[in-house]
Structure 1
Amino acid sequence: MTKQFAIKFFILILILIPFVGQAQQLDFASEVGFSPKNISRAMPNVMGSPYVNEDYQQVRINGADNKIYSGRYNAYINEMEILVAAGRDPIALDISNNDYEVFFINENKLYKTFNYESNRGITKRGFLVVMSEENDVTVLKEEIVKYYDKVAASSSYDQDKPAKFRKEDDNYYIKLKSGRVVYLPSKDKDIAKAFPEQSKEIMTFVKKNKLKTKKEEDLIKVANFIGSL
Protein backbone atom coordinates (compact mmCIF):
# COMPACT_ATOMS: atom_id res chain seq x y z
CA MET A 1 0.00 0.00 0.00
CA THR A 2 1.54 3.27 -1.12
CA LYS A 3 1.59 6.29 1.17
CA GLN A 4 -0.73 8.22 -1.17
CA PHE A 5 -3.24 5.35 -1.25
CA ALA A 6 -3.10 5.04 2.55
CA ILE A 7 -3.92 8.73 2.96
CA LYS A 8 -6.90 8.47 0.57
CA PHE A 9 -8.13 5.35 2.38
CA PHE A 10 -7.87 7.11 5.75
CA ILE A 11 -9.84 10.12 4.46
CA LEU A 12 -12.54 7.82 3.06
CA ILE A 13 -12.88 6.11 6.46
CA LEU A 14 -13.29 9.49 8.17
CA ILE A 15 -16.04 10.40 5.70
CA LEU A 16 -17.89 7.13 6.17
CA ILE A 17 -17.77 6.97 9.98
CA PRO A 18 -20.69 9.43 10.53
CA PHE A 19 -22.88 7.53 8.06
CA VAL A 20 -22.12 4.22 9.76
CA GLY A 21 -23.02 5.78 13.10
CA GLN A 22 -26.31 7.09 11.71
CA ALA A 23 -27.17 3.67 10.30
CA GLN A 24 -26.52 2.08 13.69
CA GLN A 25 -28.83 4.60 15.38
CA LEU A 26 -31.61 3.82 12.91
CA ASP A 27 -31.13 0.07 13.22
CA PHE A 28 -31.33 0.30 17.01
CA ALA A 29 -34.46 2.45 16.87
CA SER A 30 -36.06 -0.08 14.51
CA GLU A 31 -35.26 -2.87 16.95
CA VAL A 32 -37.28 -1.17 19.71
CA GLY A 33 -40.27 -0.77 17.40
CA PHE A 34 -39.95 2.72 15.94
CA SER A 35 -39.88 3.78 12.31
CA PRO A 36 -36.94 6.18 12.49
CA LYS A 37 -35.16 8.65 10.27
CA ASN A 38 -32.17 10.93 10.74
CA ILE A 39 -32.93 14.21 12.46
CA SER A 40 -32.71 17.35 10.37
CA ARG A 41 -29.49 19.30 10.64
CA ALA A 42 -29.39 22.32 12.91
CA MET A 43 -29.15 25.76 11.34
CA PRO A 44 -26.10 27.60 12.72
CA ASN A 45 -25.98 31.26 13.74
CA VAL A 46 -29.73 31.61 14.12
CA MET A 47 -31.31 33.31 17.12
CA GLY A 48 -34.17 31.61 18.96
CA SER A 49 -35.09 27.96 18.72
CA PRO A 50 -37.15 25.78 16.36
CA TYR A 51 -38.19 23.68 19.37
CA VAL A 52 -41.26 24.22 21.54
CA ASN A 53 -38.98 23.32 24.44
CA GLU A 54 -35.24 23.30 23.84
CA ASP A 55 -34.55 20.66 26.50
CA TYR A 56 -35.45 17.00 26.13
CA GLN A 57 -38.30 15.89 28.38
CA GLN A 58 -39.69 12.55 29.51
CA VAL A 59 -42.14 11.05 27.02
CA ARG A 60 -44.14 7.89 26.47
CA ILE A 61 -44.81 6.64 22.95
CA ASN A 62 -47.73 4.47 21.94
CA GLY A 63 -46.78 0.85 21.33
CA ALA A 64 -43.52 1.14 23.26
CA ASP A 65 -44.53 -1.04 26.25
CA ASN A 66 -44.96 1.97 28.53
CA LYS A 67 -41.23 2.72 28.45
CA ILE A 68 -40.06 6.25 29.16
CA TYR A 69 -37.87 8.01 26.62
CA SER A 70 -36.73 11.60 26.19
CA GLY A 71 -38.12 13.78 23.43
CA ARG A 72 -38.58 17.29 22.08
CA TYR A 73 -40.68 18.73 19.28
CA ASN A 74 -39.26 20.77 16.40
CA ALA A 75 -42.26 22.92 15.45
CA TYR A 76 -40.46 24.58 12.54
CA ILE A 77 -40.26 21.36 10.54
CA ASN A 78 -42.90 19.34 12.43
CA GLU A 79 -40.39 16.75 13.62
CA MET A 80 -40.44 14.74 16.86
CA GLU A 81 -36.94 13.94 18.14
CA ILE A 82 -36.47 10.99 20.47
CA LEU A 83 -33.51 9.84 22.57
CA VAL A 84 -34.00 6.09 22.38
CA ALA A 85 -31.24 5.16 24.83
CA ALA A 86 -28.51 6.81 26.87
CA GLY A 87 -25.28 7.37 24.96
CA ARG A 88 -26.97 7.25 21.56
CA ASP A 89 -27.75 10.09 19.18
CA PRO A 90 -31.40 11.18 18.82
CA ILE A 91 -33.56 9.95 15.97
CA ALA A 92 -36.70 11.46 14.44
CA LEU A 93 -39.94 9.52 14.19
CA ASP A 94 -40.80 8.84 10.55
CA ILE A 95 -44.50 9.69 10.26
CA SER A 96 -44.77 9.44 6.49
CA ASN A 97 -46.47 6.03 6.72
CA ASN A 98 -46.80 5.60 10.47
CA ASP A 99 -49.02 7.04 13.20
CA TYR A 100 -47.63 7.99 16.60
CA GLU A 101 -48.89 9.27 19.91
CA VAL A 102 -46.23 10.97 22.04
CA PHE A 103 -47.17 11.96 25.57
CA PHE A 104 -45.02 14.53 27.39
CA ILE A 105 -45.34 13.41 30.98
CA ASN A 106 -44.41 16.54 32.92
CA GLU A 107 -46.58 18.80 30.76
CA ASN A 108 -49.50 16.36 30.52
CA LYS A 109 -49.43 17.06 26.79
CA LEU A 110 -50.34 14.62 24.02
CA TYR A 111 -49.16 14.89 20.41
CA LYS A 112 -50.77 12.74 17.70
CA THR A 113 -50.12 12.44 13.98
CA PHE A 114 -52.89 13.58 11.64
CA ASN A 115 -53.59 14.42 8.04
CA TYR A 116 -55.21 17.85 8.13
CA GLU A 117 -56.29 20.78 5.98
CA SER A 118 -54.53 24.08 6.66
CA ASN A 119 -56.22 27.49 6.70
CA ARG A 120 -55.16 27.78 3.05
CA GLY A 121 -56.79 24.48 2.11
CA ILE A 122 -53.47 22.66 1.80
CA THR A 123 -53.37 19.05 2.96
CA LYS A 124 -50.59 18.48 5.49
CA ARG A 125 -49.40 15.69 7.74
CA GLY A 126 -47.78 16.14 11.11
CA PHE A 127 -48.05 16.28 14.87
CA LEU A 128 -50.92 18.18 16.49
CA VAL A 129 -51.57 18.66 20.20
CA VAL A 130 -54.80 17.09 21.47
CA MET A 131 -56.68 19.79 23.40
CA SER A 132 -60.05 18.13 23.92
CA GLU A 133 -61.97 14.99 22.95
CA GLU A 134 -65.76 15.19 23.38
CA ASN A 135 -68.87 14.13 21.48
CA ASP A 136 -66.79 12.23 18.92
CA VAL A 137 -65.05 15.52 18.12
CA THR A 138 -61.36 16.24 18.76
CA VAL A 139 -59.99 19.76 19.14
CA LEU A 140 -56.36 20.07 18.06
CA LYS A 141 -53.60 22.65 18.12
CA GLU A 142 -50.78 23.23 15.65
CA GLU A 143 -47.75 24.88 17.25
CA ILE A 144 -46.05 27.29 14.87
CA VAL A 145 -42.41 28.36 14.74
CA LYS A 146 -41.27 30.37 11.72
CA TYR A 147 -37.82 31.16 10.40
CA TYR A 148 -36.89 34.71 9.43
CA ASP A 149 -33.83 35.37 7.29
CA LYS A 150 -31.09 37.80 8.15
CA VAL A 151 -31.93 41.40 7.19
CA ALA A 152 -29.05 43.60 6.11
CA ALA A 153 -28.80 47.09 7.56
CA SER A 154 -30.50 49.68 5.38
CA SER A 155 -27.91 52.33 6.24
CA SER A 156 -24.65 52.83 8.09
CA TYR A 157 -26.66 53.95 11.11
CA ASP A 158 -28.52 50.63 11.38
CA GLN A 159 -27.32 47.16 12.28
CA ASP A 160 -27.95 43.87 10.55
CA LYS A 161 -30.84 41.90 11.97
CA PRO A 162 -29.71 38.29 12.48
CA ALA A 163 -31.63 35.30 11.21
CA LYS A 164 -34.04 34.01 13.83
CA PHE A 165 -36.72 31.54 14.79
CA ARG A 166 -39.87 33.02 16.29
CA LYS A 167 -42.86 31.38 17.97
CA GLU A 168 -46.07 32.44 16.24
CA ASP A 169 -49.72 32.18 17.25
CA ASP A 170 -51.02 28.62 17.31
CA ASN A 171 -53.50 27.32 14.74
CA TYR A 172 -56.50 25.26 15.83
CA TYR A 173 -58.27 22.40 14.11
CA ILE A 174 -61.30 20.25 14.65
CA LYS A 175 -61.61 16.57 13.80
CA LEU A 176 -65.17 16.04 12.67
CA LYS A 177 -67.26 12.91 13.06
CA SER A 178 -66.50 12.17 9.41
CA GLY A 179 -62.80 11.90 10.29
CA ARG A 180 -61.77 15.08 8.45
CA VAL A 181 -59.45 17.43 10.31
CA VAL A 182 -60.23 21.01 9.27
CA TYR A 183 -58.99 24.44 10.25
CA LEU A 184 -60.88 26.17 13.06
CA PRO A 185 -60.75 29.98 12.83
CA SER A 186 -60.29 31.98 16.02
CA LYS A 187 -62.93 34.65 15.20
CA ASP A 188 -66.58 33.82 15.80
CA LYS A 189 -67.75 35.27 12.46
CA ASP A 190 -65.11 33.24 10.60
CA ILE A 191 -66.17 30.10 12.49
CA ALA A 192 -69.77 30.70 11.37
CA LYS A 193 -68.59 31.06 7.76
CA ALA A 194 -66.58 27.83 8.02
CA PHE A 195 -69.70 25.96 9.16
CA PRO A 196 -72.50 27.73 7.25
CA GLU A 197 -75.17 25.10 7.94
CA GLN A 198 -74.77 25.62 11.70
CA SER A 199 -73.88 29.33 11.60
CA LYS A 200 -76.99 30.58 13.40
CA GLU A 201 -76.67 28.04 16.20
CA ILE A 202 -72.96 28.82 16.57
CA MET A 203 -73.47 32.58 16.82
CA THR A 204 -76.33 32.13 19.28
CA PHE A 205 -74.18 29.84 21.44
CA VAL A 206 -71.27 32.30 21.42
CA LYS A 207 -73.44 35.29 22.36
CA LYS A 208 -75.51 33.45 24.97
CA ASN A 209 -72.40 32.22 26.77
CA LYS A 210 -70.45 35.46 26.24
CA LEU A 211 -67.54 33.59 24.72
CA LYS A 212 -64.43 35.18 23.27
CA THR A 213 -63.19 32.75 20.67
CA LYS A 214 -59.69 34.23 20.63
CA LYS A 215 -59.32 32.64 24.07
CA GLU A 216 -58.26 29.02 23.78
CA GLU A 217 -60.67 27.71 26.43
CA ASP A 218 -63.64 29.47 24.80
CA LEU A 219 -62.67 28.27 21.32
CA ILE A 220 -62.62 24.70 22.64
CA LYS A 221 -66.14 25.17 24.02
CA VAL A 222 -67.35 26.35 20.61
CA ALA A 223 -65.66 23.41 18.87
CA ASN A 224 -67.30 20.92 21.21
CA PHE A 225 -70.66 22.61 20.63
CA ILE A 226 -70.20 22.25 16.87
CA GLY A 227 -69.53 18.56 17.45
CA SER A 228 -72.80 18.19 19.32
CA LEU A 229 -74.94 19.58 16.48
Structure 2
Amino acid sequence: MYCKYCGNRLEGDAAFCEKCGRPVEITSAFVTNPTNTEDGPEGGERVWSGGGYQSYEYARTTVSRDLSQVAIDCYGSLGYELTGQQETAVGKQTTLSFRRSRKVRGKAQLAKIQRVMDDSLASISRLENEKGRTATMRASMLGILAALVLGVGMCCSMVWDGLMAIGVVVGIVGIAGCVGAYFLYRKTYATESAHRNPKIEELYDLIATQCEEAQAVLRAS
Protein backbone atom coordinates (compact mmCIF):
# COMPACT_ATOMS: atom_id res chain seq x y z
CA MET A 1 0.00 0.00 0.00
CA TYR A 2 1.27 3.49 -0.85
CA CYS A 3 0.60 6.98 0.52
CA LYS A 4 -1.87 8.81 -1.74
CA TYR A 5 -0.10 12.13 -1.06
CA CYS A 6 3.63 11.40 -1.53
CA GLY A 7 3.71 7.86 -2.92
CA ASN A 8 5.80 6.46 -0.09
CA ARG A 9 5.47 2.72 0.52
CA LEU A 10 3.53 2.09 3.73
CA GLU A 11 3.57 -0.75 6.19
CA GLY A 12 0.35 -2.76 6.33
CA ASP A 13 -0.68 -1.45 9.77
CA ALA A 14 0.69 2.09 9.44
CA ALA A 15 -1.64 4.88 10.62
CA PHE A 16 0.56 7.74 9.35
CA CYS A 17 2.99 8.11 6.46
CA GLU A 18 6.58 8.03 7.71
CA LYS A 19 7.69 10.43 4.98
CA CYS A 20 5.01 13.18 4.88
CA GLY A 21 3.26 12.48 8.20
CA ARG A 22 -0.24 12.55 6.80
CA PRO A 23 -2.87 10.06 8.03
CA VAL A 24 -3.40 6.94 5.99
CA GLU A 25 -6.87 6.64 4.46
CA ILE A 26 -7.95 3.01 4.65
CA THR A 27 -10.41 1.83 2.05
CA SER A 28 -12.03 -1.49 2.83
CA ALA A 29 -12.07 -4.09 0.11
CA PHE A 30 -15.55 -5.06 1.22
CA VAL A 31 -18.58 -2.78 1.40
CA THR A 32 -21.48 -3.64 3.64
CA ASN A 33 -24.73 -3.95 1.62
CA PRO A 34 -23.44 -2.29 -1.55
CA THR A 35 -26.13 -1.08 -3.92
CA ASN A 36 -25.16 -0.27 -7.50
CA THR A 37 -27.24 -0.53 -10.61
CA GLU A 38 -26.46 -1.28 -14.20
CA ASP A 39 -28.42 -2.39 -17.22
CA GLY A 40 -29.19 -6.09 -17.28
CA PRO A 41 -30.10 -8.36 -20.19
CA GLU A 42 -33.20 -7.70 -22.29
CA GLY A 43 -33.67 -4.22 -20.92
CA GLY A 44 -33.85 -5.48 -17.34
CA GLU A 45 -32.15 -3.61 -14.52
CA ARG A 46 -29.67 -5.40 -12.29
CA VAL A 47 -29.50 -4.12 -8.74
CA TRP A 48 -26.33 -5.52 -7.24
CA SER A 49 -26.27 -6.39 -3.56
CA GLY A 50 -23.28 -8.27 -2.22
CA GLY A 51 -22.72 -11.23 -4.51
CA GLY A 52 -26.09 -11.24 -6.30
CA TYR A 53 -28.48 -8.90 -8.06
CA GLN A 54 -32.17 -8.19 -8.47
CA SER A 55 -33.31 -8.20 -12.09
CA TYR A 56 -36.54 -6.61 -13.33
CA GLU A 57 -38.84 -6.92 -16.32
CA TYR A 58 -40.75 -3.91 -17.55
CA ALA A 59 -44.22 -3.20 -18.91
CA ARG A 60 -45.96 -0.13 -20.30
CA THR A 61 -49.58 0.59 -21.10
CA THR A 62 -51.60 3.58 -22.29
CA VAL A 63 -55.13 3.99 -20.97
CA SER A 64 -57.83 6.62 -20.70
CA ARG A 65 -56.98 9.18 -18.02
CA ASP A 66 -60.13 8.22 -16.10
CA LEU A 67 -58.95 4.59 -15.98
CA SER A 68 -55.36 5.25 -14.92
CA GLN A 69 -55.92 4.31 -11.27
CA VAL A 70 -57.78 1.16 -12.27
CA ALA A 71 -54.86 0.17 -14.50
CA ILE A 72 -52.39 0.83 -11.67
CA ASP A 73 -54.39 -1.44 -9.38
CA CYS A 74 -54.59 -4.14 -12.06
CA TYR A 75 -50.85 -4.19 -12.69
CA GLY A 76 -50.20 -4.00 -8.97
CA SER A 77 -52.13 -7.24 -8.51
CA LEU A 78 -49.84 -8.82 -11.13
CA GLY A 79 -46.77 -8.02 -9.03
CA TYR A 80 -45.77 -4.83 -10.85
CA GLU A 81 -44.83 -1.57 -9.21
CA LEU A 82 -45.45 1.81 -10.84
CA THR A 83 -42.26 3.52 -12.06
CA GLY A 84 -43.64 6.31 -14.24
CA GLN A 85 -46.83 8.11 -15.21
CA GLN A 86 -47.09 10.56 -18.10
CA GLU A 87 -50.23 12.23 -19.40
CA THR A 88 -50.51 12.93 -23.13
CA ALA A 89 -51.22 16.47 -24.27
CA VAL A 90 -54.21 15.38 -26.36
CA GLY A 91 -56.66 12.53 -26.18
CA LYS A 92 -56.97 12.50 -22.38
CA GLN A 93 -54.75 9.43 -22.08
CA THR A 94 -52.07 8.40 -19.62
CA THR A 95 -49.00 6.23 -20.26
CA LEU A 96 -48.04 4.10 -17.27
CA SER A 97 -44.69 2.35 -16.78
CA PHE A 98 -44.17 -0.61 -14.45
CA ARG A 99 -41.49 -3.03 -13.34
CA ARG A 100 -41.59 -6.47 -11.73
CA SER A 101 -39.01 -8.89 -10.43
CA ARG A 102 -38.00 -11.50 -12.97
CA LYS A 103 -38.12 -14.08 -10.20
CA VAL A 104 -41.92 -13.98 -10.11
CA ARG A 105 -43.35 -17.44 -10.71
CA GLY A 106 -46.48 -18.39 -12.61
CA LYS A 107 -45.72 -15.97 -15.44
CA ALA A 108 -47.77 -17.92 -17.98
CA GLN A 109 -50.91 -17.61 -15.85
CA LEU A 110 -50.17 -13.98 -15.04
CA ALA A 111 -49.71 -13.20 -18.75
CA LYS A 112 -53.17 -14.61 -19.55
CA ILE A 113 -54.71 -12.61 -16.72
CA GLN A 114 -52.92 -9.48 -17.93
CA ARG A 115 -54.36 -9.88 -21.43
CA VAL A 116 -57.88 -10.18 -20.03
CA MET A 117 -57.32 -7.06 -17.93
CA ASP A 118 -55.96 -5.07 -20.87
CA ASP A 119 -58.87 -6.12 -23.10
CA SER A 120 -61.39 -5.24 -20.39
CA LEU A 121 -59.88 -1.80 -19.87
CA ALA A 122 -59.93 -1.16 -23.62
CA SER A 123 -63.58 -2.25 -23.81
CA ILE A 124 -64.57 0.03 -20.92
CA SER A 125 -62.85 2.96 -22.62
CA ARG A 126 -64.61 2.19 -25.92
CA LEU A 127 -68.04 1.95 -24.29
CA GLU A 128 -67.52 5.22 -22.40
CA ASN A 129 -66.50 6.96 -25.63
CA GLU A 130 -69.53 5.59 -27.46
CA LYS A 131 -71.85 7.35 -25.01
CA GLY A 132 -70.48 10.77 -25.85
CA ARG A 133 -69.92 10.02 -29.54
CA THR A 134 -73.56 9.08 -30.20
CA ALA A 135 -74.88 12.02 -28.19
CA THR A 136 -72.50 14.46 -29.90
CA MET A 137 -73.43 13.21 -33.37
CA ARG A 138 -77.18 13.63 -32.82
CA ALA A 139 -76.85 17.01 -31.12
CA SER A 140 -74.54 18.25 -33.89
CA MET A 141 -76.96 17.23 -36.62
CA LEU A 142 -79.80 19.07 -34.90
CA GLY A 143 -77.57 22.09 -34.28
CA ILE A 144 -76.54 22.29 -37.95
CA LEU A 145 -80.14 22.02 -39.12
CA ALA A 146 -81.24 24.66 -36.61
CA ALA A 147 -78.46 26.99 -37.76
CA LEU A 148 -79.62 26.64 -41.37
CA VAL A 149 -83.20 27.42 -40.36
CA LEU A 150 -82.01 30.43 -38.41
CA GLY A 151 -80.08 31.61 -41.46
CA VAL A 152 -83.18 31.37 -43.63
CA GLY A 153 -85.11 33.35 -41.04
CA MET A 154 -82.48 36.09 -41.05
CA CYS A 155 -82.59 36.25 -44.85
CA CYS A 156 -86.38 36.59 -44.78
CA SER A 157 -86.14 39.42 -42.26
CA MET A 158 -83.17 41.33 -43.62
CA VAL A 159 -82.77 40.51 -47.32
CA TRP A 160 -86.06 39.55 -48.88
CA ASP A 161 -88.74 42.23 -48.92
CA GLY A 162 -92.15 41.57 -47.43
CA LEU A 163 -91.10 38.47 -45.47
CA MET A 164 -90.30 40.08 -42.15
CA ALA A 165 -93.03 38.27 -40.19
CA ILE A 166 -92.18 34.91 -41.71
CA GLY A 167 -88.51 35.52 -41.05
CA VAL A 168 -89.14 36.20 -37.38
CA VAL A 169 -91.12 32.97 -36.99
CA VAL A 170 -88.50 30.94 -38.87
CA GLY A 171 -85.73 32.56 -36.81
CA ILE A 172 -87.46 31.64 -33.55
CA VAL A 173 -87.73 28.04 -34.75
CA GLY A 174 -83.99 28.05 -35.56
CA ILE A 175 -83.08 29.44 -32.14
CA ALA A 176 -85.27 26.86 -30.45
CA GLY A 177 -83.48 24.15 -32.43
CA CYS A 178 -80.07 25.40 -31.29
CA VAL A 179 -81.18 25.35 -27.66
CA GLY A 180 -82.81 21.96 -28.17
CA ALA A 181 -79.50 20.50 -29.36
CA TYR A 182 -78.13 20.81 -25.82
CA PHE A 183 -81.08 19.01 -24.27
CA LEU A 184 -80.94 16.35 -26.99
CA TYR A 185 -77.30 15.74 -26.11
CA ARG A 186 -78.12 15.25 -22.44
CA LYS A 187 -81.06 12.97 -23.15
CA THR A 188 -79.12 10.87 -25.65
CA TYR A 189 -76.15 10.58 -23.28
CA ALA A 190 -78.43 9.42 -20.48
CA THR A 191 -80.08 6.86 -22.77
CA GLU A 192 -76.74 5.55 -24.05
CA SER A 193 -75.41 5.39 -20.49
CA ALA A 194 -78.37 3.34 -19.32
CA HIS A 195 -77.81 0.99 -22.26
CA ARG A 196 -74.04 0.53 -21.80
CA ASN A 197 -73.52 0.87 -18.04
CA PRO A 198 -74.55 -2.74 -17.27
CA LYS A 199 -71.87 -4.01 -19.67
CA ILE A 200 -69.32 -1.65 -18.15
CA GLU A 201 -70.15 -2.94 -14.67
CA GLU A 202 -69.70 -6.52 -15.89
CA LEU A 203 -66.24 -5.61 -17.16
CA TYR A 204 -65.31 -4.02 -13.83
CA ASP A 205 -66.46 -7.18 -12.06
CA LEU A 206 -64.35 -9.25 -14.46
CA ILE A 207 -61.32 -7.09 -13.70
CA ALA A 208 -61.87 -7.53 -9.96
CA THR A 209 -62.05 -11.30 -10.41
CA GLN A 210 -58.85 -11.31 -12.47
CA CYS A 211 -57.06 -9.25 -9.79
CA GLU A 212 -58.03 -11.83 -7.19
CA GLU A 213 -56.79 -14.66 -9.39
CA ALA A 214 -53.49 -12.86 -9.97
CA GLN A 215 -52.99 -12.42 -6.25
CA ALA A 216 -53.75 -16.13 -5.72
CA VAL A 217 -51.07 -17.02 -8.30
CA LEU A 218 -48.51 -14.80 -6.58
CA ARG A 219 -49.29 -16.19 -3.16
CA ALA A 220 -49.06 -19.76 -4.42
CA SER A 221 -45.61 -19.08 -5.87
Report if TM-score (shorter chain) is over 0.5.
no
Q: TM-score, normalised by structure 2?
A: 0.22
Using the size of structure 1 for normalisation, the TM-score is 0.22
> Larger radius of gyration, structure 1 or 2?
2
